[in-house]
Structure 1
Amino acid sequence: MDKKILREKVLQKRADLSPKSIIEYSDIIAEKLYKMDSYKEAKTIMSFISFDSEVNTHEIIKRSISHNKSIVVPITIPKTKELKVSEVLDFSELELGYYNILTPKKEYIRFIDPSTIDLILVPGVVFARNGYRVGYGGGYYDRFLSKFEKKVDKIGLAFDLQVTDEVPTDSFDIPVDLIITEKEIINCLKK
């Protein structure tokens, strides 16, 4: 199955989740994340800012800030298809940006060096058990992740319905190390 068809199929399934289920499953996923050593030990965490029917990361961001973790969020630069990261000190610093995704208001943009990131929470539409993913088609994350020289933990947050045995891959795709769903934690490195 090609990426486009797979993406559409899973996005529809995810859109069919009730708002109550999205919050309930997101809370379960967040609790699993908080118990992980890679989360506890991380000083700087990069998190996507969820929108629509994605696993809700808003509470993860707020809680991490309140626990004195440095939280950085992606800012997409459509012109160059680039992802930059900016530190967020308070959730109120965000406003709707490109693709109707929350992004830091201009006066609160604080670009940081990505090499300071210890943990990356990665979005996706479909995740394979080996860590490869189908995103939204822009390639932003794969380009961003390919620049890391040091080993950084990459965790995909997804609902169980977004996990499949395999997805089509390209040579430039970068897999995640773990996938957390409401039903399980998948260690992709063991595959």
Structure 2
Amino acid sequence: MAVMDNPTDISQAKRDLRASTRARRESVSPEQRAARDQMIQAHLVDYLRRHQAETKRETQTDSANAGRSDAPLTVTAFVPMDSEPGGRWLPDVLRAAGFRVILPRVAQKNLEWVPYTGDLERSSWGLMEPTDEKISQPLPEVVDVAIIPAIGLDSAGHRLGQGGGFYDRQLAQGNLNVTRLGIVDQWEFHTHVPHASHDLTVNTVITEHSVFEM
């Protein structure tokens, strides 16, 4: 896919890639989805456990953060839609692995962040969202790893989202200096995806076959 500079060309390329990806996702059988999602979940849990061990070693040698060394890793996640890589039960898998999970909830044109305790309800957007009270602290103060949905990712960390701009506004890398992790099907991991300068990037990509760190 060629690199483009014209905003109109970029927008059209994004629309085209979203449409083709959504159509191909819908063509994947339930059995194939289940197998893919189990592999993605296994890679993700393994990666987060390694990240947690590394963080624990670092905090144990840092007197200012020594008290946090035994705290569970806090991750933002999301509830994948039926065809979306990761699987509907992704937040439960992460909770069962011992991580503290925070999920997004759409509030007008923004996202608010809610600790996940197991309760979800379907929103007017058709998304499964948490029902508890939102966190009071700014997200950068509480999260260790941000798991971010994507339509496509590339080897430079560029991300194509669903088109609403929620994550680009809320998780701009200048405001969230943590690991930003995207999960996609292997065929959605491209050499290049169309992107603009303001689009959110990731620094780790997980597919059913690999973990790629930038």
TM normalised by structure 1 equals: 0.87
Amino acid at match of 1:38: H
User: In the TM superposition, what are the counterparts of 1:49-128 in structure 2 within 5 Å?
Assistant: 49-77=79-107, 79=108, 81-90=109-118, 93-105=119-131, 108-113=132-137, 114-115=139-140, 116-128=142-154
1:52 shift after superposition = 2.3
- CA separation of 1:183/1:66 partners in 2, compared to 1, >3 Å: closer, same or farther? closer
SS in structure 2 at match of 1:12 = helix
- CA-based RMSD: 1.9
Identity value in percent: 23
Q: Does 1:173 align with 2:199?
A: yes
Q: Which SS does the other structure have where 2:36 is aligned? A: helix
Gaps of 5+ in 2: 1-11, 56-71
Q: Which of 17, 24, 35 is 1:13 aligned to?
A: 24
Does the 8 A contact of 2:104 with 2:113 survive in 1? yes
The one-letter code sitting in structure 2 at the alignment partner of 1:22 is R
Tell me the CA shift for residue 150 of structure 1. 5.2
| Structure 1 runs of 4+ with >4 Å offset | 39-42
- Contact kept, 8 Å, 2:80 with 2:90, in 1: the verdict is no
One-letter code of the match for 1:110?
Answer: K
Tell me if the contact between 2:173 and 2:201 (Cα under 8 Å) persists in the aligned partners. no
**TM-score where L is the length of structure 2:** 0.78
Counterpart residue type for residue 46 of structure 1: T
Are 1:151 and 2:181 counterparts? no
Q: Distance in 1 between matches of 2:97 and 2:186?
A: 28
Aligned to 2:61: none
Larger Rg: 2
Contact kept, 8 Å, 2:181 with 2:204, in 1: the verdict is yes
Map of 1:141 onto structure 2: 167
Q: What's the secondary structure of 1:120's corresponding residue? A: strand
> How many equivalent pairs are there?
182
State the AA in 2 paired with 1:70.
R
Q: 1:74, 1:85 within 8 Å by CA — same for their partners in 2?
A: yes
Deviates more, 1:146-155 or 1:8-17: 146-155
Q: How far did 1:112 drift? A: 4.3
Structure 2 counterpart SS, 1:100: coil
Whole-Å Cα distance in 1 between the matches of residues 101 and 179 of structure 2?
15
Greater shift after overlay, 55-64 or 24-33?
55-64
Q: Taking structure 1 as reference, are residues 147 and 166 closer, same or farther at Cα in structure 2, changes over 3 Å only?
A: closer
